[in-house]
Amino acid sequence: MCSLRDLLSLVSQEDGRVAEHLDDTLLNRLEEALYCEDVHHTVWSDFHDTTFRKLMTTFEGSLEDTEFSRGRLKIKFAILWRMRDYCQSSDFEVVTRVLNTLIMSKNCSMISTLHAFYQKSLYGLNSFHFFGGLPDSHLLILKNLYQTSLNANHRRSIILLFILLSLSTFETHENVDKCCEYIKSMAICSHDVDFLVDFLTELVKVSHLSNEACSVYLNQCAENVAVLVTKNSVAVKYEEELMYLSILLAPYQPTILEGAISASPLSNVGDHLRRLLTNGVIQDCPLHRFLVSSWYSEIEASFGKSKATLAKALTPISTCRKNPLHHPAFRDLLPPTFTDNLWNYSISLLPQNQFDNVFKNCWLLFNRYCHLQEDTRKREQLQFLLDQICNQPHILAECSVLMDSVFLLYSSLPSITLTERLGVFQRTYHLAHEECSRLKYSGGCLSYSFLLLRIYQSAFLNEAIALQLLQLQKLVSTQIVEECSLLANEMIIEMHCGFFITPLLEPQAREVFTPQIFTQVLDLVTTLQVAKASTNDEQIFPSKLKGVLLACFLRCLDCPTVVEHLRAAETLCLAMETCAYLGSAEWEEDPLIRTRVAECWSVFSEKAEKQLSSPEMRSLLERLRPHFSLTTSAHIGHGTCPSCGECIHGLLEDIVLSNQAVGDLDCVGD
């Protein structure tokens, strides 16, 4: 198991067990996990007591421009972020020297290595204030690097570091004035306009820039932009960017900028809003609220016009990665008829069977607003969509956006009863069953299958539901046995790896296992064993599916009625042999399956230890115990974080290798 010592070895270049040929995927995941602050708080105090001083002695190690060296650097800074409450002034001086080296190297890839650190330092609740020791010339170096770089990611990192350095000058009004003069001196050329856009966009987002000096700075920037917008000499190609800056800075000089904007009437309101939303800079100010209100009016007016007119107004917000309803203006200014009009227009497109971008974007937008309706209305809409889908299952299966609509209406109905939920599940089950019956002819379309598992809830689970899920799993697997070419489809492979029966591994599912379920599981295993033996194709019986079925077997053998049935049918030995066969599979690569199988094994082995008088149980325990013999020692970050979904301990195990040649590494993350 990986310990705090292993983490230190990784970043201090003292451990030859690290796989030098690793790509940066695992290191990026480790960096993300180290920055996540949801769990594992207590281990960091232990790290400080035992390891942090050793880390700081190696912090200024070689800064080679290699993939792995950059990976180590980002991990060092991530650890430093976690240690921020324990840092001394001497630690900040070390970090300042490292940053100075990076800037003076003028190596954009090295500077951008610490992108996550810059973000955390700017947007976190706490900020580092160790940049004051860097000379002003570093700002000019960074700006020149920005201008010469063609890499968008490098540019973003340079901007963040530029702002961090600028923050150290914001302590007095004199320095703010100096910085403003520097910005005003920029020529209105493409590089400077691009720089201003990126710089001010990030600056506005920094939540802790609420001190008076920063307000003065942003106010002066707004005044300068207002002057530029009204200049007749400004080239046409910069007008759009300057208009964006006007809208961006409107909260700081509303009177001046609104006047400048009114001199150049706004077009494409949706595009402006999309940019504000995407950049995370929309604010609750009069101008931004006016844009929202104008967009709603434009959409409602477009419902009676051509598709092209509607698409122009609709698309920027419907396809925006950021949900507009997260901003209060989109909720406060929502017209009472908007969602209903959007629904009516969207369903009017269904009979046309023209699933173009207008169709898709109407439903995308409806999916964002549907939860705001009354429950009665949502229930009606849910039943209507299910009826439409059941009437045209093959045609509408291709419309994934409609599957999202069904799920969102279903999941946003708190008043829906368990009986009603089961009714929706059963209707979807029949769609999924038909879909899985014709995989060869449908091109591998599995929309209803994915919808079924989204709708599924653990409260549904009983023997009948479990048998239905097993039936779907067998349906997919037997078709693969009959037509191996289906394995060319990645979604079908995902289904084949136990997709339908993973709900049976949940802890609350223990009570549903019966002799009938065991018979179905055994039948599936036998079918796949025979097929694999005849084809010698590992994909016919993938290891992940073996892990799922092993967990089901262990659950069955934990059930007294199943064991009694097997004894009466004289098939207990066969069950044990099958269980041992599944236990030898390499299913550990999947963290969820590994966890679920381990849970099932723990319960089974605890009971079986008390039944050692049974020779069959004793034999099975002896055969499976080596496979589950790993013990847990003291280590960092054991357990999966609910926020980032990572396990620091598992990631270190994958990076820091014990007793394994580098060339033999299988880079599969935890």
| Cβ atoms 556, 517 nearer than 8 A | yes
DSSP string, 333-360: T--TTHHHHHHHHHHHTGGGT---HHHH
Mean pLDDT on 395-402: 93
Mean pLDDT on 419-444: 92
| Cβ atoms 597, 575 nearer than 8 A | no
More confident residue, 103 or 231: 103
pLDDT score of 240 more than 70 = yes
Rg, C-alpha atoms of the chain? 30
| Whole-number Cα distances in Å, 462 to 124, 230, 413, 429 | 46, 70, 23, 15
pLDDT score of 561 more than 50 = yes
Q: What pLDDT is recorded for position 13?
A: 58
Q: What pLDDT is recorded for position 421?
A: 95
pLDDT tens-digit series, residues 510-523: 889 999 999 999 99
Q: Which residue type is seen at 167?
A: L
pLDDT tier for residue 545 given thresholds of 50, 70 and 90: very high
Write out the two tokens for 186: 């920029």
CA angle 468–470–476, rounded 5-degree value: 105
Distance of CA 507 to the CA centre of its chain: 25
User: Coil, helix or strand for 39?
Assistant: coil
Mean pLDDT on 109-115: 95
| Cβ atoms 636, 652 nearer than 8 A | yes
Q: What pLDDT is recorded for position 70?
A: 87
**H helix count then E strand count, the chain:** 36, 0
664: buried, middle or exposed (CB in 10 Å: 19+, 13-18, 0-12)? exposed
Give the CA count within 13 Å in the CB-facing half-sphere of 243.
19
More confident residue, 50 or 396: 396
Q: Among 156-165, 212-221, 368-377, 649-658, which is the least confidently predicted range? A: 649-658
Mean pLDDT on 639-668: 57
Which residue, 222, 169, 234, is CA-closest to 196? 222
State which H helix or E strand residue 524 sits in: helix 515-535
Q: Among 140-144, 219-223, 639-643, which range has the highest average pLDDT?
A: 140-144
Distance of CA 510 to the CA centre of its chain: 30
* Euclidean distance between the first and the last CA atom of the chain, given in angstroms as a whole number: 13
Q: What pLDDT is recorded for position 301?
A: 93
CA angle 448–450–454, rounded 5-degree value: 110
pLDDT tier for residue 128 given thresholds of 50, 70 and 90: low
Q: What pLDDT is recorded for position 241?
A: 87
The whole-chain average pLDDT of the chain stands at: 82
Rounded distance between C-alpha atoms, residue 361 and residue 371, angstroms: 17
pLDDT tier for residue 660 given thresholds of 50, 70 and 90: very low
Percent of the chain with pLDDT over 90: 41
User: Torsion-angle region of residue 570: left (phi > 0), alpha (psi -120 to 50) or beta?
Assistant: left
pLDDT score of 85 more than 50 = yes
| Cβ atoms 456, 407 nearer than 8 A | no
- Non-local (6+) Cβ contacts of 396 within 8 A are 388, 389, 402
pLDDT tens-digit series, residues 146-198: 999 999 999 999 999 988 887 765 554 455 555 555 555 554 555 578 888 99
Write out the two tokens for 653: 């195990």
Which residue, 617, 541, 553, is CA-closest to 583? 553
Q: What pLDDT is recorded for position 359?
A: 95
Task: Classify each residue of 288-314 as buried b or exposed e, where b means 16 or more C-beta atoms within 10 Å of its C-beta.
Answer: bbbbbbbbbebbeebbeeebeebbbbb
Q: What pLDDT is recorded for position 452?
A: 97
Alpha helices in 585-629 (DSSP H): 591-609, 615-624
Rounded distance between C-alpha atoms, residue 478 and residue 156, angstroms: 51
| Cβ atoms 558, 604 nearer than 8 A | yes
pLDDT tier for residue 617 given thresholds of 50, 70 and 90: confident
| Whole-number Cα distances in Å, 191 to 145, 218, 261, 326, 641 | 11, 20, 23, 33, 42
DSSP string, 553-573: HHHHHT-HHHHHHHHHTT-HH
Percent of the chain with pLDDT over 70: 80
Rounded distance between C-alpha atoms, residue 514 and residue 370, angstroms: 41
Q: What pLDDT is recorded for position 624?
A: 80
Mean pLDDT on 528-552: 90
Q: What pLDDT is recorded for position 169?
A: 58
pLDDT score of 658 more than 50 = no
Write out the two tokens for 130: 């160790």
pLDDT tens-digit series, residues 442-474: 878 899 999 999 999 988 999 999 999 999 999
pLDDT score of 246 more than 70 = yes
Q: Among 537-541, 566-570, 585-589, which is the least confidently predicted range? A: 585-589
Give the CA count within 13 Å in the CB-facing half-sphere of 223.
9
Rounded distance between C-alpha atoms, residue 530 and residue 532, angstroms: 6
Rounded distance between C-alpha atoms, residue 564 and residue 315, angstroms: 62
Mean pLDDT on 70-81: 88
Rounded distance between C-alpha atoms, residue 547 and residue 591, angstroms: 11
Rounded distance between C-alpha atoms, residue 97 and residue 117, angstroms: 16
Q: What pLDDT is recorded for position 662?
A: 34
Would you mind telling me the total number of residues written for the chain in this entry? 670
Rounded distance between C-alpha atoms, residue 117 and residue 284, angstroms: 29
Rounded distance between C-alpha atoms, residue 502 and residue 201, angstroms: 45
Quote the pTM value: 0.84
Q: What pLDDT is recorded for position 172?
A: 46
More confident residue, 172 or 67: 67
Q: What pLDDT is recorded for position 104?
A: 93
